[in-house]
Structure 1
Amino acid sequence: MVSSIANSLGFGSGLDVKQLVTDLSNASRDPKIARMTDLTQTNQTRISALAQARADLDGFADSLSQMVDDGTLRSTPTVSDESVLGATSRAGLSADSFAATVVVNQLARAQTSYSGVVADKAAAIGAGTMTLTVGGVAKTITIDATNNSLDGLAGAINASGAGVTASIIADEGGHRLILKGPTGEAGAFTLTADAGADPALSAFATGGGMTEGQNAANAEFTIDGVAFSRASNIIDDVVPGMSLTLKKAAPGQPVDIGASRPLGMIKQTVSDFVAVYNQLKKSLVAASSLSGPTSGLRELERELGGLLHKVISSHGSINQLSDIGISTTKEGLLSVDNAKLDKALEADAGAVEALFNPRRDATHTEQSDPGIAFVLDAIRDKAVGVNGAIDRVSKSLDTKKENLADQLEKIEMREDAYRKRLEKQYGSLEAKLAAFKATQSYLEQQIKLWSNQGND
């Protein structure tokens, strides 16, 4: 008998047992593997479609938010003399009604004081304590053996947290200590030597040895004759939606400021909104159809479809996308009626702008005037959040992907075991057939031999 099943296959009996085992095992394995491959590919297609839908949703929401954040859709301030002041827009600027005249009488400035020339900035200047007072708040400046020098005094002042900056500059014959406080009248400061300090420290006191370079002052300006005083030259709290930067004092020189609305950009944004929405809609439809009728993506589709008639501003007549000519086609996509959009812009361009770039002030909040970007962000965050529509489908598809991989592994293990059983069974059969054939051959020889002996 042969020594192993492997060696017995295909020998002795005349049957191609090896091919027979291969055919039988393939007949069992191939349909199962093909089915699992189809299921895996279908699931991967669903995962890819969902990923595309999420990417489109993220891109849609982020692009709108970015346009609002960077001011692309905002009314733009206009300034008649930018050498005197500059202006930038913030949410809330109304181009329809804003116009004013500004006169800059004085710029805000910080107090500066400087010392006399010190020959060696590393040499001892005297030990003791000094008091640095800014806006009524006092800080103790200690000079001892560890920092007894001009460098040490500057470092101690900077480390005090008082808001005064100490610098050392080179000057003819040595170095000077320069102190600069915060901008505005409230930033005025004093530096005094305390009782018991080395008398030499008085050379760095503001009321003695230090010389005042300039005093602290507020910006003084008027808007349409109304006087204002601010500690900074950047004014954010006077004109709604506008930040002013005072550049130079120009008493008696009026500067006109106003705002212009980017009508072309608004129209382009409406067109872009419709185009990107339609792309997102198609991605969601594709992902939803692949993910099955119970998919949570239908919920997201409904929420997006509701954008058209959702009130997103507090304006009386132009407060939803349908008011500016955006409508739904029979396929569920959006289209824009440019004639209706132009009519809305002509009637109240500010209201159209507010749909995309909502105003923000005491009466225009995220609740009363969310704007399309805010609403879309909320829909996106809900969908991708824990147990959101996209999150649920994504988890389901990932779980199915893992299950399919496990099933495939088990099928391969079962089919491998089945093939080994076939090899054993048919190997045994091969051995028996070979033995039978050998016996048959022996008997045939004996019969032939007997027959020949009988003839003799």
Structure 2
Amino acid sequence: MGISSIGIGSGLDVKSIISQLMAIEQQPIAQLQTQASSLNTKLSAFGQIKSQMANLQDMAQKLADQSNWNAMSVTSSNASAITGTATEAAAATSFSVEVSQLARAQAVGSVALPSASPVGAGSLHIDLGNWSTGTPPVFTAGGTAVDVQVGATDTPSQIADKINAAGAGVTATVLKDTAGDRLLLRSNATGESSAFRIQALDSMGNQITSGTGLGQLAYDPANVATGGMSLTQTALNTKATINGVAVTSQSNTLNAVAGLTLSVSQVTTAPVEITIQRDTSAAKKAINDFVTSYNSINAALAEMTRYDPATKTAGTLQGDSTAVGLQTALRRLLSGNGPAGTPLRNLSDLGVEFQSDGSLQVNASKLDTALKKSDDVKNFFTAAAGESALKGMALRIKDFADGLIGVNGALTSRTNSIQSAINRNSKDQTNLQDRLTQTQTRLQAQYSRLDATMGSLTALSNYVNQQVTLWNKNSNN
């Protein structure tokens, strides 16, 4: 019978022998795996630093953004009557505002009409424009008229739907009461120039002036004296004074001052003081966000480069020249002086102060005091100059970050180098694993031959022993 398993013929634990030999052969691949783990940990660490540096660059960009420094705020002594917003174009100033009239839309209403009864065929000719104050008032058209066709069987509700679909600048509503349906029309916009006239025309295109039939839906005081729609609200402009100077507006919004929009909601009984001043809230937020971002990367670098003598453990990047150099360069950069021409020498003059662990902390009251001269703080961060050393702090930090995380930046080069090492390591592991497979195959073949040979020798030895025993037995007999 042939030998079915290695070791049976020889009696040796061949499987264990090969396993121990392969364990020795595999030591180099174990070293490569350990090295790969370390490289991947470093790559992850530098990836985190790059991400935090990109965030720091974004925060520096916001500090350099002029809109965060040029914002203006508006305060009102009577916010229930007047509020306002200002753009960068507004100047810091103050003035008094009085409102004598609010803008409103024209509104008219018909007499009660039977809800299911038509008023007759024809059309409603709707014009937007102005009404004079005479008696009767005179209408001056100011836009393109719209004709709404009315069918012989149209009810008030159907007529309202047609008016609303026509885009005539008015909105129709049906009010139902015990007397019937009343058709109500209102201008879509406020102001005297958004008033409207409605002329009723018969099927031949002639104006109906009787105030009967379709004429009941006309509003044209100069031609329909009675029977047409009644005026329920006159179109008005907002009327106000700014420091005693009269201003008007079609809406309840005043844009009489450059860069300023005032919204009025009440007629005033006393002057309302409006103050426009520099809004420092956006700049303050940008500074605080920058400090938070810097502290994140500072803490990460401190943790990654530290060595704990108590536990004798090193950080992921302990001793790494790129990480240690970045930590030093960042602190040196933020400790530097401000640009020429600004009275602020460094961040601490703004209330942004270094702590013993290298982090930054904002002294809120000191920052508020510095922001009272916001132009100085703005220049400290945003001043543009020909030489990098004279640029505003935010611009310098932005340039510094770009030099680290750009295509050819130091952090980018470092991560690329680590990734290349990981790729080489992976290739080395693959090649070594192939050699190990070949070695294991060779050892199994060698021990198979040895096992077969030793099995044959053992069988021969047993046969010889049997023959000797027989000879000895026969000789004794």
TM-score range with shorter-chain normalisation?
Answer: 0.5 to 0.7
Deviations 1:247-289 (A, max 9, x none): 11236x2111226778899778756643542323454788899
Deviation at 1:203, TM superposition (A): 3.6
Structure 1 equivalent of residue 248 of structure 2: 229
Q: Give the fraction of aligned pairs with identical amino acids, expressed as a percent.
A: 27
Deviations 1:8-60 (A, max 9, x none): 13423121111222233333345425523542453255335524652675488
Structure 1 equivalent of residue 271 of structure 2: 254
Counterpart of 1:431 (choices 452, 462, 466) is: 452
Q: Give the conservation status (yes or no) of the 8 Å contact 1:154–1:167.
A: yes
Following the alignment from structure 2 to structure 1, what is the Cα–Cα distance between the partners of residues 161 and 338?
Answer: 59
Q: Does 1:81 align with 2:102?
A: no
Q: Which amino acid aligns with 1:50?
A: G
Counterpart of 2:144 (choices 138, 146, 152) is: 138
Pairs aligned (count): 430
Following the alignment from structure 1 to structure 2, what is the Cα–Cα distance between the partners of residues 204 and 395?
Answer: 80
Counterpart of 2:461 (choices 440, 444, 452) is: 440
Q: Give the conservation status (yes or no) of the 8 Å contact 2:59–2:290.
A: no
Following the alignment from structure 2 to structure 1, what is the Cα–Cα distance between the partners of residues 173 and 425?
Answer: 69
Following the alignment from structure 1 to structure 2, what is the Cα–Cα distance between the partners of residues 220 and 398?
Answer: 71
Normalising by structure 2, we get a TM-score of: 0.64
Range with bigger deviation, 167-176 or 393-402:
393-402
Q: Give the conservation status (yes or no) of the 8 Å contact 2:106–2:233.
A: yes
Following the alignment from structure 2 to structure 1, what is the Cα–Cα distance between the partners of residues 198 and 66?
Answer: 44
Q: Does 1:111 align with 2:111?
A: no
Q: Give the conservation status (yes or no) of the 8 Å contact 1:61–1:376.
A: no
Counterpart of 2:373 (choices 349, 365, 382) is: 349
Range with bigger deviation, 418-427 or 436-445:
418-427
Range with bigger deviation, 334-343 or 429-438:
334-343
Query: Residues 431 and 196 (structure 1 numbering): CA distance in 2 closer, same or farther, change over 3 Å?
Result: farther
Query: Residues 51 and 144 (structure 1 numbering): CA distance in 2 closer, same or farther, change over 3 Å?
Result: farther
Counterpart of 2:188 (choices 177, 181, 186) is: 181
Query: Residues 325 and 168 (structure 1 numbering): CA distance in 2 closer, same or farther, change over 3 Å?
Result: same
Deviations 1:380-436 (A, max 9, x none): 899989999888888887888788778767766665565455444434443333233
Q: Give the conservation status (yes or no) of the 8 Å contact 2:148–2:163.
A: no
Following the alignment from structure 1 to structure 2, what is the Cα–Cα distance between the partners of residues 371 and 169?
Answer: 66
Q: Give the conservation status (yes or no) of the 8 Å contact 1:126–1:143.
A: no
Following the alignment from structure 1 to structure 2, what is the Cα–Cα distance between the partners of residues 63 and 407?
Answer: 43
Deviation at 1:451, TM superposition (A): 5.0
Q: Give the conservation status (yes or no) of the 8 Å contact 1:102–1:254.
A: yes
Structure 1 equivalent of residue 310 of structure 2: none
Range with bigger deviation, 322-331 or 35-44:
322-331
Q: Does 1:274 align with 2:327?
A: no
Structure 1 equivalent of residue 217 of structure 2: 204
Q: Give the conservation status (yes or no) of the 8 Å contact 1:100–1:256.
A: yes
Query: Residues 85 and 20 (structure 1 numbering): CA distance in 2 closer, same or farther, change over 3 Å?
Result: same
Structure 2 equivalent of residue 367 of structure 1: none
Following the alignment from structure 1 to structure 2, what is the Cα–Cα distance between the partners of residues 381 and 206?
Answer: 69
Please give the secondary structure, in 1, of the residue aligned with 2:373: helix
Structure 2 equivalent of residue 218 of structure 1: 237
Following the alignment from structure 1 to structure 2, what is the Cα–Cα distance between the partners of residues 162 and 384?
Answer: 59
Following the alignment from structure 1 to structure 2, what is the Cα–Cα distance between the partners of residues 128 and 398?
Answer: 82
Deviations 1:285-338 (A, max 9, x none): 88899598789x96xx879948976769xx975699676365779998657788
Q: Give the conservation status (yes or no) of the 8 Å contact 2:381–2:392.
A: yes
Structure 1 equivalent of residue 311 of structure 2: none
Following the alignment from structure 1 to structure 2, what is the Cα–Cα distance between the partners of residues 331 and 13?
Answer: 70
Structure 2 equivalent of residue 324 of structure 1: 350
Counterpart of 2:15 (choices 14, 18, 25) is: 18
Q: Give the conservation status (yes or no) of the 8 Å contact 2:173–2:184.
A: yes
Following the alignment from structure 1 to structure 2, what is the Cα–Cα distance between the partners of residues 125 and 378?
Answer: 76
**CA RMSD for the aligned pairs?**
5.6
Normalising by structure 1, we get a TM-score of: 0.67
Q: Does 1:98 align with 2:93?
A: yes
Following the alignment from structure 2 to structure 1, what is the Cα–Cα distance between the partners of residues 429 and 201?
Answer: 85
Q: Give the conservation status (yes or no) of the 8 Å contact 2:96–2:272.
A: yes
Following the alignment from structure 2 to structure 1, what is the Cα–Cα distance between the partners of residues 446 and 36?
Answer: 33
Q: Give the conservation status (yes or no) of the 8 Å contact 1:86–1:245.
A: yes
Query: Residues 177 and 214 (structure 1 numbering): CA distance in 2 closer, same or farther, change over 3 Å?
Result: closer
Following the alignment from structure 1 to structure 2, what is the Cα–Cα distance between the partners of residues 185 and 382?
Answer: 61
Range with bigger deviation, 219-228 or 174-183:
174-183
- Choose 1 or 2 for highest CA Rg: 2
Following the alignment from structure 2 to structure 1, what is the Cα–Cα distance between the partners of residues 110 and 412?
Answer: 66
Query: Residues 352 and 194 (structure 1 numbering): CA distance in 2 closer, same or farther, change over 3 Å?
Result: farther
Following the alignment from structure 1 to structure 2, what is the Cα–Cα distance between the partners of residues 155 and 379?
Answer: 65
Q: Which runs of 5+ in 1 are unaligned?
A: 359-369
Please give the secondary structure, in 1, of the residue aligned with 2:79: coil
Deviation at 1:144, TM superposition (A): 6.8
Deviations 1:132-168 (A, max 9, x none): 4446442645547799444444444444445433444
